[in-house]
Amino acid sequence: MNKTTINDVAKYANTTRSTVSRVLNNSPLVNPRTREKVLEAIDVLRYTPNKTARSLKSGKSHVLGLVYSQQQISEVLMNPGVPGMIKSISERAQSEGYNILLITSAGVDYKSYDDLIMKHSVDGFIVSGAMIHDSLHEVLDKAKIPYVYNMKYSESKDDCYVTFDDVEGGYLAAKYLLDLGHRDIKLIVGDVKGTVLSFNHSRIAGFKKALQEYEIPFVDSMVLRTPGDMDSSYHFIASLFARERPTALLLSNEVTSTAALNALIDKGFSIPDDVSLVAFGYPDFFRYTRPSLTTVGLDIVWQGNHLVDMLLQRINDPGSTPAAMIKKPELVVRESTKKAP
Amino acid sequence: MNKTTINDVAKYANTTRSTVSRVLNNSPLVNPRTREKVLEAIDVLRYTPNKTARSLKSGKSHVLGLVYSQQQISEVLMNPGVPGMIKSISERAQSEGYNILLITSAGVDYKSYDDLIMKHSVDGFIVSGAMIHDSLHEVLDKAKIPYVYNMKYSESKDDCYVTFDDVEGGYLAAKYLLDLGHRDIKLIVGDVKGTVLSFNHSRIAGFKKALQEYEIPFVDSMVLRTPGDMDSSYHFIASLFARERPTALLLSNEVTSTAALNALIDKGFSIPDDVSLVAFGYPDFFRYTRPSLTTVGLDIVWQGNHLVDMLLQRINDPGSTPAAMIKKPELVVRESTKKAP
DNA sequence: TTGAAAGCGCTACCAT
DNA sequence: ATGGTAGCGCTTTCAA
């Protein structure tokens, strides 16, 4: 450990802690000559201020907690979109003078999670949570710790989140397929502990809206649920196509999309000749599958950056409730879609 | 912020900080009745100890820094293996009572990096670095901050790292292809700022060893360098096959492998009928390509766990230099390899 | 312009 | 078994 403290610097520069501290904090209340001496001392002694002491004094850690729910971490961290978000969050945070503490144990047991939150080691949380413990926001609110979500999580009006317009996303995708003449379309959504997540509800709504424009009645069997992991999804799609022959699939995430693609290829279906595929997710990922997939692209870099910005706003101006940010997704047409057969 | 401090608890329980502290730290030197009262106070007041204060006192932050070099972060964080490693590192660390601080700015400029290191906010570093600043370990050694690498980085004997036996990996892959009758094999390695990384040197050595067993002379053109990003690699492979027709490729990472796979498919080559492919990397990733790829699998979960363990050993027993850990990779045969045409 | 001193929340040593 | 107190390294009044 570098045991050089502010006192060592003061001694070397023939002054006191107070003055050194002023130099460190760019106070104008210090004689240029003294400042010189102090800076020299800092340089010679290779002194750097102890961040922990500063945190204790200021009550701010300049650390942001990035929370992944347990169920997310198992599948989703493998997900190509997540590292991109981690990267954008981390880099934005660092450019603002904050570090990222990665928290992946959330939800394992509630108590440990609570503990972690309450130890004051972070100034706020970015919660990336499909199925975060329900009372999480109560705990956070009670503790007055700022937080932001990557999706609309509760129905509470003053929720802070940065996410995408999934109604629009579902609409865009469905309309595109309908335009191509598809009529037997399945929307495949992830099933998390028996629940359909809010963004999937939105996509379903967008899907219905498009159907309505085409005066096609919605029937329940147009929306199918599958567990989120690769193998389950694979078998789900394979057995679906053993029974039925929809002409187009709307896939709600990267894992399901990959699984569907593989299952269809393995069963001898041709994409897009037999089936058209549209995937929701990280825009670039599906450039690198073969065939490349038409994608409702979610701009994860934008999301990561704004999650940080919004959280910092809440931290710097406690009590403020920044308005949720919602971005329209963009349809990227690639090789996996064509006119209905 | 939860402003409840140890003093509040002491007051509520009609005792002093000292006693509360003893209860918190499970000291036996406290009357059961008093302990009860204190615990009740803690419960009622929803008190949790301030981690920052503890860190200041103890000099330990219970935080581990996970450093990604700038050049890695741009491509490699997108890489499916990296999230797996983050996950395993993070979970192991948490189970040992440590948190992970994600540092992705390393190398942007050396000064900021140095700063970060010196602020004492972490107890040690896990450095995942292809091209970490050369003098990094000098800085760390001078500051007496423990660290571990995910690869053999310097030639120094007492280097701490957890990595894979890449000589064996190169050997396994080459031997397997030679056994299948391949004679025109190219080993494609990433070129990082004009340098071939040590693990690739090892793979080349393993490759040569296998050739030797088959009494095939090694020629330089058997090893080819490509920049690490997806698009460059793609064009590199495409133009290679415009000129030559090797019957087998050894691909040194996930990005290059994906690029090669796509380039070959797009140019109309059949895998494995025209070309056999062997990829180095995260074992599961190449299960999900089509065709799935024969892989020299690197057990990233093992690596992540042991990086944490080794770092904690250095932290808990300063001055100790745990022996490097090296695991033999495993060859997973899948669809991308067959007898030479 | 500078220094002295208090205190952030906690632990640990020394009394009692 | 318990309380008083010093001090971790820093910032920030308040005085000088």
Amino acid occupying residue A310: M
Nearest Cβ partner for B102 among A78, A100, A121: A100
Q: What's the confidence (pLDDT) of residue A153?
A: 76
Which nucleotides of strand D lie within 7 A of protein CB? 1-13
Nearest Cβ partner for B51 among A94, A99, A120: A120
Q: Is residue B179 part of a domain?
A: yes
Interface test with A, best of B52, B288, B305, B334 (most A CBs within 10 A): B52
Q: For residue B204, is pLDDT > 90?
A: yes
Residues B177 and B285 in one domain: yes
The CA–CA distances, whole Å, from A311 to A130, A145, A331, B109, B152 equal 19, 10, 29, 26, 39
The DSSP-derived string for B128-185 is E-SS--TTHHHHHHHTT--EEESS--SS-TT--BEEE-HHHHHHHHHHHHHHTT--SE
Q: Is residue B217 part of a domain?
A: yes
Q: What's the confidence (pLDDT) of residue A73?
A: 47
Q: Which of residues 42-101 of B touch strand C (CB under 7 A)?
A: 49-50, 53-54, 56-58
CB B294 within 8 A of CB B331: yes
Q: What's the confidence (pLDDT) of residue B77?
A: 46
% of residues, chain B, pLDDT over 70: 88
Å between A168 CA and nearest CA of chain B: 27
pLDDT in tens, B293-302: 999 999 999 9
Q: Is residue A9 part of a domain?
A: yes
Residues B294 and B180 in one domain: yes
Contact across the interface for A262 and B99, Cβ inside 8 Å: no
Interface contacts A/B by beta carbons within 8 Å: 138
pLDDT in tens, B152-186: 877 766 689 999 999 999 999 999 999 999 999 99
User: D5 C1' – A246 CA distance, angstroms?
Assistant: 78
**Which of B 28-67 lie inside 8 A of A, CB atoms?**
46, 48-53, 55-56, 59, 61, 63, 66
Residues A199 and A294 in one domain: yes
Q: What's the confidence (pLDDT) of residue A135?
A: 64
Residues A159 and A175 in one domain: no
Segments of chain A with pLDDT less than 50 = 1, 73, 76-77, 107-108
Residues A145 and A195 in one domain: no
Q: What's the confidence (pLDDT) of residue B115?
A: 64
pLDDT in tens, B91-144: 899 889 899 998 876 544 555 556 666 666 899 999 887 555 566 677 777 777
Measuring from the CA of residue B30 to each C1', which nucleotide is nearest?
A: D1
Residues of chain A found within 8 Å of residue B314, distances taken between Cβ atoms: none
Beta strands in chain B (DSSP E): 63-68, 99-103, 124-128, 147-149, 162-164, 185-191, 223-227, 248-251, 276-281, 294-297, 325-327, 330-332
Domain residues for the domain of A90 are: 63-163+300-326
Q: Is residue B333 part of a domain?
A: no
* DSSP H/E element including A19: helix A17-24
Q: Which of residues 13-32 of B touch strand D (CB under 7 A)?
A: 14-19, 22, 28-31
Residues A85 and A170 in one domain: no
Q: What's the confidence (pLDDT) of residue B107?
A: 47
Contact across the interface for A48 and B118, Cβ inside 8 Å: yes
Query: Does A290 touch chain B if contact means CB atoms closer than 8 Å?
Result: yes
Query: Does A319 touch chain B if contact means CB atoms closer than 8 Å?
Result: no
Which nucleotides of strand C lie within 7 A of protein CB? 1-13
Q: Is residue A333 part of a domain?
A: no
Residues B176 and B194 in one domain: yes
Residues B97 and B6 in one domain: no
Residues A203 and A312 in one domain: no
CATH number for the domain spanning A20: value is 1.10.260.40
Residues A261 and A293 in one domain: yes
Residues B175 and B129 in one domain: no
Q: Is residue A8 part of a domain?
A: yes
Q: How far apart (Å, rounded) are the C-alpha atoms in residues B170 and B165?
A: 9
Pairing mode, strands B294-297 and B330-332:
antiparallel
CATH number for the domain spanning A236: value is 3.40.50.2300
Nearest-10 crossing angle of helices B166-179, B198-213: 40
Q: Which of residues 44-83 of B touch strand D (CB under 7 A)?
A: 53, 56-57, 59
Q: Across all residues in chain B, what is the average pLDDT?
A: 88
Q: What's the confidence (pLDDT) of residue A191?
A: 80
Q: What angle do CA B154, B82, B86 make, to 5 degrees?
A: 95
State mean pLDDT over B204-216. 97
Contact across the interface for B290 and A266, Cβ inside 8 Å: yes
Residue of chain B whose Cα is closest to the Cα of A105: B91
Q: What's the confidence (pLDDT) of residue B331?
A: 98
Pull the structure tokens for residue B56. 């200041």
Residues A41 and A118 in one domain: no
Tell me how many domains chain B contains: 3
User: D16 C1' – A181 CA distance, angstroms?
Assistant: 87
Q: What's the confidence (pLDDT) of residue A192?
A: 73
**Which of A 87-146 lie inside 8 A of B, CB atoms?**
87, 90-91, 94, 99-105, 115, 118-121, 143-145
User: C11 C1' – B66 CA distance, angstroms?
Assistant: 29
Contact across the interface for B118 and A46, Cβ inside 8 Å: yes
Q: Is residue A336 part of a domain?
A: no
Q: Is residue A262 part of a domain?
A: yes
Pull the structure tokens for residue B135. 């003098």
Nearest protein residue, CA measured to C1' of D2:
B19
Nearest-10 crossing angle of helices A32-45, A17-24: 90
The CA–CA distances, whole Å, from B208 to A128, A256, B199, B216 equal 47, 41, 14, 9
Query: Does B18 touch chain A if contact means CB atoms closer than 8 Å?
Result: no
Residues of chain A found within 8 Å of residue B94, distances taken between Cβ atoms: 103-105
pTM for the complete prediction?
Answer: 0.91
